[in-house]
Each structure stands twice: as C-alpha cells, then as structure tokens.
C-alpha cells in the first residue's frame, strides 16, 4: 500500500470518528492521532464480539450492522446506530465484561486497544479519558431513568398489594380472636390451627417484602390462596363437622373469615392464571372478511397471543405447510370446509366456528363437519360485544377453564350463588334474583325476561339433566308440577350477577349430558321447521332452549361430558339498545 493510500485510510478513519457523538467536540489533531491506533474488524451474523465474564481491554465503536446485548442469556438491548460504544464498562473498571455482545447481521466496528492509548499525547489522552468517563456516567444515568420507571410501576402495584394484605391481616386477627375463644374440647385442634395461622402470617410478611414485577406478586398471591388459605378452609370445615354443638358458631365465623379472604384473592389469582395462559400462545384466524379481521386484531392485539390471519383456502394450506404450531383456530363459515382439515395436522388445536346469528344458515355446516365442537355466533353489527367475546373465548380455551358467568362481566363483579336442592326452590330463587336486580336499577322488562329464562334453566337442571350412573334419565318423565327432591350428587347451582352493563344468570348441573348432537337437533326443530322425531329421553323437543335463546341477548353453553353442564344467559341493560328481538346469539363449548 502506498503512503498516499495509507494517509487516505487514516484520514477516512479520522473523519468517521469525528462524526460520532462521542468525539464531536474533540479537535481534528486528536482524531488523526486516534485514527492511527484504530483497527477495523468485520463480524458475520451470529459472531461473538464480546463474551460475558471474560477480560476485555478494547473499546468498540459500531460502524455498520447491529448487535444484541445479552446478560445471563437474556436480551437487554439492541444497538444499531453508527458510533454506539461497546465494551467501555470493562475498560474503565478493569473487570471482566458484564454482558455478551453478538452480531445480529454482518457488522463492522472500529477497535481501539486500551494499551495503545498510551501512544497519544498527554493532553489528548486526558481529553479521551474525560470523554470516556462522561459517556460512562451518561449510560449509568439512562439506566437509572429506566430503573426509576420500573420502580414507579412496581410502587403502583405494591400499593394495591398492601391494601389486599391489610385486609388479609385484619381477617387473620379476627380469626385469631375467634380461635382463642374456643372451648377446652378443641384445644388440640386449636394448636394445629395456630400453626397454620403462623404460616399464613409468614406469607403476609413475604408479600410486604415483594420488590419485583407484577408476575411475581400475582404468583405469590396464587400460592398464598392455594397452599395456605385453601388447606386452612378444609381444616376448619373438618373441625366444624366434628365439634360440639356449642362450639360450631365460633368455628363457622372463623370459616367465614377465611372464605372472605379467598373471595378477595380470587379475582387476582384468576387474572394471573389467565394472563399466564394467554402468553406466547398461537391463534389462527381463518377469515376472508377484512372487517372481521380488523375486529380480531383489535380483540387479541393486547393479550399477549400471537395472531396469524389467512383469508383463502390457499393461504391456509401454505400456513399449514409451514409447520407452525397452533393453539386456537377461529374459522368463518365460508372457510369451514378447508379449515376442518387442520385437526389432521394439529389434533391438539381448539377449533371455533365463528357463526352468524342466522342459525338455519350455519346448521348444515355443523352437520357436515362435527369437528366444530366450539361455536360462537355473533352479531356483525355489535362490534364491542364481538371484541369482548373473542377475548373471552380465547381465554376460556387457552386456560382450560370454560365455566363461570363472571368471564362475561366486568372484573370483580359480586356473584350470588345458591344451591338447588328441590323443584320447590325455583320460585324463591327467581324472586331473590329479581329483588336483587330491582335494587340495582334493572328495568322490569329485562328482569321479567331473566325470570322466564331462569325458570327454563332450573326446570332443565331439575327434571331433564339428572340421570343414573348408566345414563338413564331419572325425572324427565314426571309432570313438571310434581315435586322432585334432588339427592346430594344431583344438586344444581344457580348463580346471578349484574355489572351495570349486563345482567347474567347461570344454572349448572353435575351431569354433563348436553352434547353437540342434542344442540343441533333442538336448533333444527325450532329454527328450520324440521319435522323430526323427538330426541331420545328428552322431553319438549328443545322448546325450552328456544325460549332461553329467544329471550336472552346471548346464551353460553359450557359442557364437560359426564361432569358438568352450565348454561349462562346474558341480558343487555343499555336503554339505547335495539332490544333482543331477532337475535339468536349463542355460544357452545365442549371440553
């Protein structure tokens, strides 16, 4: 290389160094001196530039490309701006490097060895050192700003946690007081209970010391509920059943305090388990309509799931050929036939048919493709409700938790729950529900519709659902005027709630006998005018289900075969709504 070429190369280095933010205020002779000791290195994509916990005595300035900075295997930053400085911490502190730096693409850097800085003139060396320490301070300052923001977010979560913790401590003090009042006959049991209370108090102390992220906070609350409060509740129930009659009221009050604590924690633990279930899961939308695609993006964009969209059978085939994993598939009726093949490659995926409110229109699809055991009918004009229902559906299927009307209401709503032990319970339960709705300001027209639906739901749970262990119906042959007293294993559950926007009621039975075929048979009889024979063992040809759907704004049917059936009816309280007439919206989920 000629002297002129060498000079040109040094001159180019000096000009490039002078363009970096780090050197902008340095004199030109400093750049020339520094360029003489600057080397150029190129790294291919994936190459290791600096390795964590290894010595480093060089400064690196990014020329082109990009690098990722990792600490203990986790990415903490990506640098892609020319002039970004690497390796300065280890040069300043003379300690092993605290991070690994890897090229994300073909990357080139300027390298200046710390030992070669001695060749600079004294004034330039001091100026360079000053700038190096100034940059070091700037980096620490930026990291401190980021740390302060994290601390601010934690402080908000911590205040909410302290409030919940205070309530738990209050409940615990009340529980201690009641336990101390027990009789001598319960002394040995009291000692065991106090040991559990000590563990509970220790858990409270741990909550006060939390200083990390929201995930850790919610995880700890979940463990508190599962590992301490739940066993304590079981123990108290055992004590109550075995205690002398005069001691039972005290134990019952202690049990109520624990149940209240559990109820207070339940929304938090449910939220945590839901968020965990949604993270990094894969959802595929098979939908050609652009408007529906936008609604799905809006619904799932902030949940943590990864959403892929295909709009044609060809795009679907290409996606399947890519070998990508799938957790849930939402399918529009127009693409139901090609999408049904998904189960061949992804048998674990949950398929959801996004039907319309035109029941006769999509019933043939369900008959032709029985693989669709999850059905969500939707009103194309009700955008808000559709968004909420997509999120709720994904949450239910990903968390493997289908049941509970609270999933369709605002977070933290107060749900009233009653056991159904006899056919004579129907009237008082419905009256209690209507009184509660009236106290909340629910209009009588909506309350009357809810009462009609509740009657049908309760009749089904009492007369139609109960069956023997071998599957034979027990009571559906009886006149509905005949009193039926349910055995303990046959008892149903009646729940109702209102969040100011929706009123909701549900009835669950412990049999899980409502299958997809029964649903389709009932819908065909009531919406297509089909003259078919009655479903074996089922009275009424589904007219009760027809009444339920026609008088509700949304009906949700959740089934775990041979375990549980739950029917939920929702009523829109918006006075500006068009009303429920003409709507036949329902959801069906088979676990």
Give the chain's domain count. 4
pLDDT at 526 over 50: yes
Task: Establish if 562 belongs to a structural domain.
Answer: yes
Distance CA(90)–CA(99), nearest Å, equals: 10
Which residue, of 352, 387, 422, is where some domain finishes?
Answer: 387
pLDDT at 469 over 70: yes
- In sequence order, which residues have a C-beta less than 8 Å from that of residue 448 and are 6 or more positions away? none
Distance CA(452)–CA(179), nearest Å, equals: 46
Question: Are residues 418 and 345 part of one domain?
Answer: no
Predicted local confidence at residue 537, as pLDDT: 46
CATH number at residue 379: 3.40.50.2300
Task: Establish if 394 belongs to a structural domain.
Answer: no
At 311, give phi and psi (nearest 5°): -115, -5
CATH number at residue 15: 2.60.120.10
Band of residue 125 on the pLDDT scale cut at 50, 70, 90: low
Question: Are residues 159 and 134 part of one domain?
Answer: no
Task: Establish if 393 belongs to a structural domain.
Answer: no
Distance CA(496)–CA(510), nearest Å, equals: 18
Band of residue 139 on the pLDDT scale cut at 50, 70, 90: low
Task: Establish if 396 belongs to a structural domain.
Answer: no
Full domain range(s) for residue 484: 402-590
pLDDT at 448 over 90: yes
State pLDDT tens for residues 21-43. 777 777 777 778 788 888 999 99
Question: Are residues 491 and 546 part of one domain?
Answer: yes
pLDDT at 540 over 60: no
Question: Are residues 190 and 78 part of one domain?
Answer: no
Question: Are residues 204 and 66 part of one domain?
Answer: no
pLDDT at 138 over 70: no
Question: Are residues 555 and 406 part of one domain?
Answer: yes
Task: Establish if 375 belongs to a structural domain.
Answer: yes
pLDDT at 456 over 90: yes
pTM for the model: 0.57
Distance CA(53)–CA(63), nearest Å, equals: 25
Question: Are residues 368 and 481 part of one domain?
Answer: no
Neighbours of 21 (CB within 10 A): 13
Which residue, of 146, 171, 204, is where some domain finishes?
Answer: 146
CATH number at residue 544: 3.30.565.10
434 and 442 in contact (C-beta within 8 Å)? no
- Beta strands 350-355 and 328-331 are parallel
- In sequence order, which residues have a C-beta less than 8 Å from that of residue 142 and are 6 or more positions away? none
Distance CA(384)–CA(299), nearest Å, equals: 9
Mutual angle of helices 359-368 and 516-527, in 10-degree steps: 140
């Amino acid at each position: 290389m000629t002297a002129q070429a060498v000079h040109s190369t040094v001159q180019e280095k000096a000009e490039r160094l002078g363009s970096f933010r780090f050197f902008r205020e340095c004199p030109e002779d400093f750049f020339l001196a520094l360029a003489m000791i600057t080397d150029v290195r190129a790294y291919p994509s994936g190459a290791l530039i600096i390795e964590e916990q290894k010595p480093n005595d060089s400064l690196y300035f990014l020329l082109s490309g990009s690098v990722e900075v990792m600490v203990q295997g986790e990415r903490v930053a990506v640098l892609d701006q020319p002039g970004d400085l690497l390796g300065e911490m280890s040069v300043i502190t003379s300690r092993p490097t605290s991070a690994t730096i890897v090229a994300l693409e073909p990357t080139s850097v300027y390298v200046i060895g710390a030992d070669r800085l001695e060749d600079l003139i004294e004034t330039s060396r001091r100026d360079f050192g000053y700038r190096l320490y100034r940059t070091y301070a700037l980096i620490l300052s930026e990291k401190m700003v980021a740390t302060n923001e994290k601390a601010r977010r934690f402080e908000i979560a911590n205040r909410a946690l302290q409030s919940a913790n205070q309530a738990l401590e209050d409940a615990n003090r009340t529980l201690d007081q009641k336990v101390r009042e027990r009789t001598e006959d319960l002394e040995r049991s009291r000692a065991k209970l106090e040991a559990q209370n000590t563990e509970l108090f220790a858990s409270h102390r741990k909550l006060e010391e939390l200083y990390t992220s929201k995930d850790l906070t919610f995880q700890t609350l979940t463990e508190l509920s599962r590992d301490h409060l739940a066993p304590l509740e079981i123990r108290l129930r055992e004590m109550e059943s075995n205690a002398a009659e005069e001691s039972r009221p005290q134990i019952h009050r202690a049990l109520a305090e624990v149940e209240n604590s559990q109820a207070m924690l339940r929304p938090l633990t449910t939220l945590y388990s839901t968020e965990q279930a949604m993270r990094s899961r894969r959802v595929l939308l098979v939908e050609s309509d652009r408007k529906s695609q936008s609604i799905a993006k809006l619904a799932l964009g902030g949940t943590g799931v990864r959403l892929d969209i295909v709009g044609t059978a060809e795009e679907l085939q290409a996606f399947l050929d890519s070998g990508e994993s799938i957790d849930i598939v939402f399918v529009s009726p127009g693409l139901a036939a090609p999408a049904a093949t998904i189960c061949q490659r992804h048998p674990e995926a949950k398929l959801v048919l996004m039907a319309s409110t035109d029941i006769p229109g999509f019933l043939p699809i369900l008959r032709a493709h029985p693989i669709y055991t999850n059905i969500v009918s939707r009103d194309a004009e009700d955008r808000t409700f559709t968004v909420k229902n997509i999120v709720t559906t994904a949450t239910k299927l990903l968390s493997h938790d289908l049941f509970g009307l609270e999933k369709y209401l605002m977070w933290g709503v107060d749900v009233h729950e009653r056991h159904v032990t006899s056919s004579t319970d129907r009237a008082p339960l419905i009256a209690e529900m209507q009184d509660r709705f009236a106290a909340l300001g629910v209009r009588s027209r909506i309350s009357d519709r809810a009462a009609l639906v509740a009657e049908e739901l309760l009749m089904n749970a009492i007369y139609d659902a109960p069956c023997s262990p071998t599957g034979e119906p027990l009571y559906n042959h009886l006149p509905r005027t005949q009193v039926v007293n349910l055995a303990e294993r046959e008892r149903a559950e009646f729940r109702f709630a209102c969040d100011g926007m929706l009123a909701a009621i549900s009835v669950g039975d412990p049999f899980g006998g409502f299958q997809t075929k029964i649903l389709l048979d009932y819908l065909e009889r009531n919406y297509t005018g089909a003259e078919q024979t009655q479903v074996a063992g089922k009275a009424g040809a589904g007219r009760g289900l027809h009444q339920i759907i026609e008088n509700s704004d949304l009906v949700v049917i959740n089934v775990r075969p041979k375990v549980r059936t739950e029917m939920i009816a929702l009523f829109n309280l918006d006075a500006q709504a068009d009303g429920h007439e003409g709507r036949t919206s329902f959801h069906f989920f088979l676990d």
